[in-house]
């Protein structure tokens, strides 16, 4: 995906070679034409990736979606592990469970790796939307673990192409920003004018290469749900390899034949908005009401580029404690991948669980829970 992002923001070979239709890239709402031709440190766009995996009826792992903007949840991985160690210490002894608590140090190394001008001692900060964000706990947790400052937009100021933080001793330059706010809110001079979370002039400083952002601006074009359908083609195109993991079959409403199929089979399909996250803007056909079906019929007909559909994959369940008894609940898995001087996959991951019986929606913003997940030493 980093190769893809570099390409679409530079030569756009993959489009010129006809592998991905231009409208897929240019029609993605998170595509940032302002960043074409702008280089980012080490050509790294996605430094932190949280890909969602599910296991289907046949036991195959499938990629459900790629999260390449600001994937969240890693603090739950660490906290779940701490809770398990406290409650079931006896389980750990002989099992050979690989530790996950190296993550903050690895993340910090990843962030320092992209410091402008190879600065050996960069000032790295975490940019949070603030205490009202549902992931604020995680922001605070990670900043604390990495011993870096957690800043809000109002703590930063861009002057003459550099970014500074406002301290009791005056301004101090910032080199790397691990940002946990969306592109749209980063800089009111460039993106949403009404953003009060961002820093006016930040994007200019990024363009000039005076500050690095992780993840970079514009990565949303790669985790767009329409782009998703082309990821296997990307892998073949850039790496000349076959994908190791399969995907969930995906119908793209902007293709006329797919649109017809989607509209005719809505009750059998899961329909997702192409650029939403957090479980918002989706329809689960088999459990939807007539009104919801009609609403999505209308939405898909009118904005086909914005919607995709997938067959309902009855992904795996896991025994879960519910009201004092064990019951099956659907789970997915989000491993975290860091892309610094090497690629590091966290030996663990966020297993998200849909706590409502039969539900396939695991997002924490929709009431999902999470479970500790072990990777055993070979």
Partner 1 sequence: MMLSRVADHQYWMSRQMERAENLARLVRVSEEMLLDDETLGRGSAQEYWTPVLAATAMEGAFRSLYPNPQMGDVARFLTLDLRNPDSILSCIRQARENARSVRDKISDEMWSEINALNLFVTSPEGLQLLERFPQAYYEKIISSSMLFDGITDATLTRDEGWNFLQLGRLLERADMTSRFLDIRSQTQPSPVDSALESLQWGAVLRACSAHAGYRRVHGGEISVEGVVDLLLFSNEFPRSVRHCIRRADEVLHDISGTPTGRYSNHCEKITGALLARLSFAGPPEVMARGLHAYIDELQVQLNAAGQAVFESYVLLPGEVDRHFPRGTRPESLSDWQREQQQQQQQ
Is 19 a residue that touches partner 1 (CB under 8 A)? no
* CB-CB contact of 233 with 18 (8 Å): no
**Which of residues 81 and 259 has its CB atom nearest to partner 1 in the complex?**
81
Residue 166 neighbours by CB under 8 Å, 6+ apart: 155, 156, 157
**Which of residues 90 and 168 has its CB atom nearest to partner 1 in the complex?**
168
CB of 173 to partner 1, least distance (A): 12
The whole-angstrom separation of Cα 14 and Cα 48 is 23
Single residue of 185, 228, 296, 336 touching partner 1 by CB under 8 A? 185
The whole-angstrom separation of Cα 44 and Cα 114 is 8
Is 302 a residue that touches partner 1 (CB under 8 A)? no
Which stretch, 77-85, 146-154, 246-254, 257-265, contacts partner 1 (CB under 8 A)? 146-154
Is 157 a residue that touches partner 1 (CB under 8 A)? yes
Is 212 a residue that touches partner 1 (CB under 8 A)? no
Single residue of 13, 16, 117, 166 touching partner 1 by CB under 8 A? 166
Single residue of 38, 84, 109, 171 touching partner 1 by CB under 8 A? 171
String marking each residue 249-288 x if it binds partner 1 according to CB under 8 A: ----------------------------xx----------
Is 365 a residue that touches partner 1 (CB under 8 A)? yes
Is 197 a residue that touches partner 1 (CB under 8 A)? yes
Is 342 a residue that touches partner 1 (CB under 8 A)? no
Is 172 a residue that touches partner 1 (CB under 8 A)? yes
CB of 46 to partner 1, least distance (A): 12
Handedness of CA 147, 148, 152, 156 (dihedral sign): positive
Is 339 a residue that touches partner 1 (CB under 8 A)? no
Single residue of 3, 155, 238, 297 touching partner 1 by CB under 8 A? 155
Is 51 a residue that touches partner 1 (CB under 8 A)? no
55: helix, coil or strand?
Answer: strand
Is 95 a residue that touches partner 1 (CB under 8 A)? no
- Buried b / exposed e over 193-225, threshold 16 CB at 10 Å, is eebebbbbbbbbbbbeebbbbbbbbbbbbbbbb
Count CB atoms within 10 A of the CB of residue 294.
Answer: 12
* CB-CB contact of 371 with 330 (8 Å): no
The whole-angstrom separation of Cα 288 and Cα 197 is 36
Is 150 a residue that touches partner 1 (CB under 8 A)? yes
Q: Tell me the number of residues near partner 1 by CB under 8 A.
A: 45
| Radius of gyration of the chain, Cα coordinates, nearest whole angstrom | 21
DSSP string, 202-259: HHHHHHTTSSEEESPTTGGGTS-TTGGGGHHHHHHHHH----SSEE---EETTSHHHH
The whole-angstrom separation of Cα 73 and Cα 351 is 10
| Strand-strand pairing, 124-127 and 149-151 | parallel
Is 181 a residue that touches partner 1 (CB under 8 A)? yes
Interacting residue ranges for partner 1, rule: CB under 8 A: 50, 67, 69-72, 129-137, 140-141, 143-144, 149-152, 154-155, 157, 165-172, 180-182, 185, 195-197, 200, 277-278, 365
């Amino acid at each position: 995906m980093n190769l893809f992002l570099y390409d679409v923001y530079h030569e756009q070979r993959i489009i010129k070679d006809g592998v991905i239709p231009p409208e897929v890239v240019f029609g993605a709402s998170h595509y940032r034409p302002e960043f074409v031709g702008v280089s980012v440190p080490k050509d790294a766009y996605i430094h932190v990736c949280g890909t969602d995996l599910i296991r289907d009826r046949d036991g195959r792992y499938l990629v459900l979606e790629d999260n390449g903007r600001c994937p969240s949840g890693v603090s739950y991985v660490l906290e779940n592990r701490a809770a398990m160690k406290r409650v079931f210490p006896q389980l750990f002894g002989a099992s050979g469970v690989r530790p996950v608590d190296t993550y903050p140090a690895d993340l910090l190394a990843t962030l320092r790796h992209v410091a402008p001008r190879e600065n050996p001692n960069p000032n790295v900060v975490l940019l949070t939307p603030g205490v009202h964000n549902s992931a604020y706990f995680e922001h605070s947790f990670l900043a604390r673990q990495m011993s870096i400052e957690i800043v809000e937009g109002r703590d930063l100021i861009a002057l003459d192409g550099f970014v500074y933080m406002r301290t009791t001793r005056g301004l101090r330059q910032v080199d790397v920003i691990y940002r946990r706010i969306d592109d749209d809110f980063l800089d009111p001079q460039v993106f949403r004018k009404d953003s009060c979370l961002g820093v006016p002039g930040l994007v200019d400083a990024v363009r000039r290469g005076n500050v690095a952002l992780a993840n970079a601006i514009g990565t949303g074009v790669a985790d767009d749900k329409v782009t998703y359908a082309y990821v296997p083609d990307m892998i073949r195109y850039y790496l000349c390899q076959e994908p190791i993991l399969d995907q969930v079959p995906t119908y793209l409403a902007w293709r006329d034949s797919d649109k017809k199929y989607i509209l005719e089979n809505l009750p059998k399909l899961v329909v997702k908005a192409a650029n939403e996250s957090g479980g918002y803007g989706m329809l689960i056909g088999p459990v939807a009401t007539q009104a919801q079906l009609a609403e999505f019929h209308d939405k898909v007909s009118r904005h086909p580029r914005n919607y995709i559909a997938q067959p309902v994959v009855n992904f795996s369940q896991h025994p879960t404690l519910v009201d004092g008894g064990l019951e099956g609940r659907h789970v997915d898995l989000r491993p975290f991948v860091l892309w610094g001087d090497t690629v590091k996959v966290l030996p663990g991951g966020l297993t998200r669980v849909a706590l409502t019986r039969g539900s396939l929606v695991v997002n924490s913003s929709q009431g999902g829970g999470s479970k500790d997940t072990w990777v055993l030493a070979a």
